[in-house]
Every structure is written in C-alpha cells, then in structure tokens.
Amino acid sequence: MTAFAGLKTRDYGERTVVEIEAQNVDFRNCENIKAAIHGIVTSGKKHLILNLEQVGFMDSSGLSILLYCKRICEESGGSIALCCLQNYVNNLVQLTNLNKSIDVFTTEAEATA
C-alpha cells in the first residue's frame, strides 16, 4: 500500500485501487487529487479503480477528476473503473451518464475480480 496526498493505493496484479480519503471532492482539493493520480499513472500504474467509499459529496470539479483519470489512463493504454459509490455520488455519475463510459462496481472485490 502506498499513500499519496489524500489517497491510498493497493495493487491487485495489473490493477491499482486508488482510495480517495476525502468526504468532499470539490474545487478545494481537486488539483491535489489530480496531481496525485497523475503521479500514480506516470509511475506505471495505468489500470486504476477509484474507490469512492469515503466520498459523500462531489461537485463539477470532482467530475472533472473522473474524466481526467479516464483520459490519462486511456492515453497510457490503461483503463479506469469506479467502486463503492455512496448514493449522492452514484446519482451524480448516473445523471451525467458517466456510468456509460466508466465501469462502476458496487464493491472493491467486484472491481478487482
């Protein structure tokens, strides 16, 4: 397990779970999270699973993080998935149709299987 600013990572073979350790993902912490995820991907971990279990609120800046992750993972030949979404974040992902382009799993175990 590795820790980045506000993130914890766990490796499962080629996949890396990135757990965001913040109740709110918004304009106040979005740049730090993006920079940390950029560091993870440039270190060679390109198949990411974002565990959002602790995230109870996300604004448009948070959505931009998800899109940024999708772009940089795909540009490096990798993939992105989401897991453990709380109701508010799950509703936001569905409302914006992100679940059509990013796989969403109920549990981390399902995402890493």
For residue range 16-40, list pLDDT tens digits in order. Answer: 999 999 999 999 999 999 999 999 9
> Domain containing 87 — which CATH number?
3.30.750.24
Q: How many domains does the chain have?
A: 1
pTM comes to 0.92
**Looking at the predicted structure, is the pLDDT value of residue 5 above 80?**
no
Domain that holds residue 99: 2-112
Calculate what percentage of the chain has a pLDDT beyond 90.
95
For residue range 36-62, list pLDDT tens digits in order. Answer: 999 999 999 999 999 999 999 999 999
Percentage helix, strand, coil, to 5, in the chain? Answer: 40, 30, 30
Average pLDDT, the chain: 94
